[in-house]
Amino acid sequence: PPLARSSRNDFLKEIKIMSRLKDPNIVRLLGVCMRDDPLSMITEYMVNGDLNQFLSRLPSAIGDIFIFFAPHQKLISVPPKLDKLVYMASQIVSGMAYLSSLNFVHRDLATRNCLVGEHHTIKIADFGMSRNLYSGDYYRIQGRAVLPIRWMAWESILLGKFTPASDVWAFGVTLWEMLTLCREQPYGALTDEQVIENTGEFFRDQGRQVSAGTSV
């Protein structure tokens, strides 16, 4: 069936991608089983699961993660929890920089696609397949595949343009997730349709396309 062929092609595509990647902050592919259906792959085990679930299990003490400044902008307190968040975020940056050096665009960076090991080690995963658990984070735009629109840059949603810069946008949303301990979706007050409509404001100026030099 066409769907089965599509799933198999997606699987083979992901294997091909993952077999090329060798970086401390990218999850490693250890093996593949292709003899029988369902096709399966073996990746390194990350004991704490994905970053979204890991952070959402933490106590909801949001105020504890902020940095406080004296009147002269002198840093006076960096709570340990923030240290850990910064450390994890820096590992995501490192992994994404590696992907960018290969001219590879992830297209789906989010806390759900980062895995947590011991000692707050982070490894980026999911290059296009593992979406069942977080189906509510994806939306099918007419005539296109399901997309994580709440993490996507406006040019990706409206023009289908994915670049390292759109991954940077997704990292900004991922950082917001981390600082809120994954307590809600981005743009939580908006429906999926409203998110797309809101994205258009980056692209339009009273019905006209915004030029690159226009401040928005």
Which residues does the annotation mark as catalytic? 108
Which DSSP letter does residue 26 get?
B
What is the Cα–Cα distance from 48 to 3, expressed in whole angstroms? Answer: 32
Q: What are the tokens at 108? A: 């789906």
For the chain, the farthest-separated pair of C-alpha atoms sits apart, in whole angstroms, at: 66
Handedness of CA 141, 144, 146, 147 (dihedral sign): negative
What is the Cα–Cα distance from 185 to 182, expressed in whole angstroms? Answer: 7
